[in-house]
Structure 1
Amino acid sequence: MIRNILNIVMTVLLLLIMDYRFTGNAFHEIGGVVFALLFVFHNVLNRRWYEVFFKGRQSLRRVLTTLVNLFLVVTMVTVFVTGALISVTVFAPLDMRSENLFMHDMHQGAAFVSFILIAIHLGMHWEILMSKLKNWLHIDVSSLGWVFMSRIISSVVIIYGIYASFTNDIGEKLLMQRVFMGWGEEPSLWGFLLDHFAIVGSYVGITHILLGLLRRVKDTNPK
């Protein structure tokens, strides 16, 4: 259970440090270091995944999970390394700061790729998370009210998240086409959090739906 809580905490922390205009650079860098430590801790907790990496049957679901996890590790390491190289606070005493703007672009691009991959990672484990939540809240998942409400909320989050992805130029940021010095007008904190929570929710929801469809296809065409 601690792994699932850690996933959510890391997602929230990532949202808080994604735009340092709201928190200042010092909090951004310190939060980044905390996030890096949590990420290492998360991987230590999941070390068995690495131990059985090449063992067992490689189903499509397992292959997809492996690819997402590996890409996430690569992008997070990129974020940490580039963050250290452009640091003006935490790592400044080490005197290794790079003035190369491409390093800023890479840091931002890798951060947004990690942001999306974390959402997909959550989507792949959403059934487990929701099962725990339903047990805690004693929700009757078979009730018509719950089914209707959950589907309405999911649809709204996914639709708004897709819209927010375009209005926040997520595609350009993923492709490293937006440098830090050209971010435009400063958005409101609540608007930023709403948009990016919705973006996370949309990728979680879409991943969950696609995996559900994949499972149905597999059940319909067993081999």
Structure 2
Amino acid sequence: MKLKYIYQVAQDSVMVILFGALMGFHLWQESTHEWLGLAFLLIVFKHLVLNNHWFQRLWLGDYDLFRALKLAINIVLAGLLITAIVSGVVLSQHIFADFFFHNASDMVRKTHMTSVHWLQIIMAVHLGMHWKMLARFFSQLWHISENSRIAKFGSFLSLMLSVYGVSIFIQRDMSAYLLLQVDYAFFDFEQSVAGFYFDYIAVTILFAYTTRFFLWLFLFRNEQPVKE
């Protein structure tokens, strides 16, 4: 197994953790939130550099439906990242507060909230499109069969987290954020830090696992399993 790929997976895991920290705005000081945002931006740039081969192959070969879907998701993801980052920088109350572009208007704040909530979902979809590859990676890393009881338990756990994620999505009325219907973010300050991040993971797994399921259902169900 290539060391570079192990490093990429570790780095991407840090990126997901950092984004989760950013979603928990009320759990950090405002200045800490902004510095975490800069750290997240740095990780995103490193992710792009390490995946430069994807850009090099962008115009090579034919596009089947799965490849076209990945390209579409990546374009949407890039647009949301740019929107979230630019609106966050413009909103900055500490690091960029004295710059000429500072603007803390309701529209900028609303745009930032909407883009980061969409970003969580599209990042999860992006993760779901690489679910099989990551499952194979961890199976090789931990020397377990993809059909082992441990692997099946992992799938069952993902399913249970997805079900819980549905309840959290409804309970927090996250669709209102996605549809630009929320002017101010509402946080449960009585919820523990562990509870908040467990909910964040559950919603992320919900959209990642759902993506993986629909890809299997409509694209890969009839594939012949690879014999070891």
> If the length of structure 2 is used for normalisation, what is the TM-score?
0.88
Q: Does 1:179 align with 2:183?
A: yes
1:192-221 deviation per Cα after TM superposition (whole angstroms, max 9, x unaligned): 11111001111111111111123335649x
Structure 1, unmatched stretches of 5+, are none
Pair 24,146 (structure 1): closer, same or farther in 2 beyond 3 Å: same
Q: Does 1:150 align with 2:154?
A: yes
CA–CA distance in 2 between the matches of 1:138 and 1:184?
41
Q: Does 1:37 align with 2:54?
A: no
CA–CA distance in 1 between the matches of 2:15 and 2:36?
10
Structure 2, unmatched stretches of 5+, are none
CA–CA distance in 1 between the matches of 2:203 and 2:40?
20
Q: Secondary structure at the residue paired with 1:26? A: helix
- Report the more deviating stretch, 3-12 or 16-25: 3-12
CA–CA distance in 2 between the matches of 1:151 and 1:37?
32
Q: Secondary structure at the residue paired with 1:93? A: coil
Deviation at 1:20, TM superposition (A): 1.7
Specify the alignment match of 1:195 in structure 2.
199
Amino acid at match of 1:78: T
Identity %: 25
Give the conservation status (yes or no) of the 8 Å contact 1:82–1:103: yes
Q: Does 1:166 align with 2:170?
A: yes
Specify the alignment match of 2:143 in structure 1.
138
Match of 1:18 among 23, 26, 35: 23
Deviation at 1:122, TM superposition (A): 1.0
Deviation at 1:18, TM superposition (A): 1.1
**Coordinate RMSD, CA, aligned:** 1.9
Amino acid at match of 1:38: I
Deviation at 1:140, TM superposition (A): 3.1
Specify the alignment match of 1:100 in structure 2.
105
Q: Does 1:112 align with 2:129?
A: no
1:90-134 deviation per Cα after TM superposition (whole angstroms, max 9, x unaligned): 111324321310100101111111111111111111122122212
CA–CA distance in 2 between the matches of 1:132 and 1:185?
37
Give the conservation status (yes or no) of the 8 Å contact 1:161–1:199: yes
1:33-55 deviation per Cα after TM superposition (whole angstroms, max 9, x unaligned): 11111112211222222222232
Amino acid at match of 2:186: W
Give the conservation status (yes or no) of the 8 Å contact 1:158–1:205: yes
Match of 2:90 among 85, 89, 95: 85
Give the conservation status (yes or no) of the 8 Å contact 1:79–1:111: yes
Pair 148,184 (structure 1): closer, same or farther in 2 beyond 3 Å: closer
> If the length of structure 1 is used for normalisation, what is the TM-score?
0.90
Specify the alignment match of 1:216 in structure 2.
220
Pair 141,55 (structure 1): closer, same or farther in 2 beyond 3 Å: closer
Q: Does 1:63 align with 2:63?
A: no
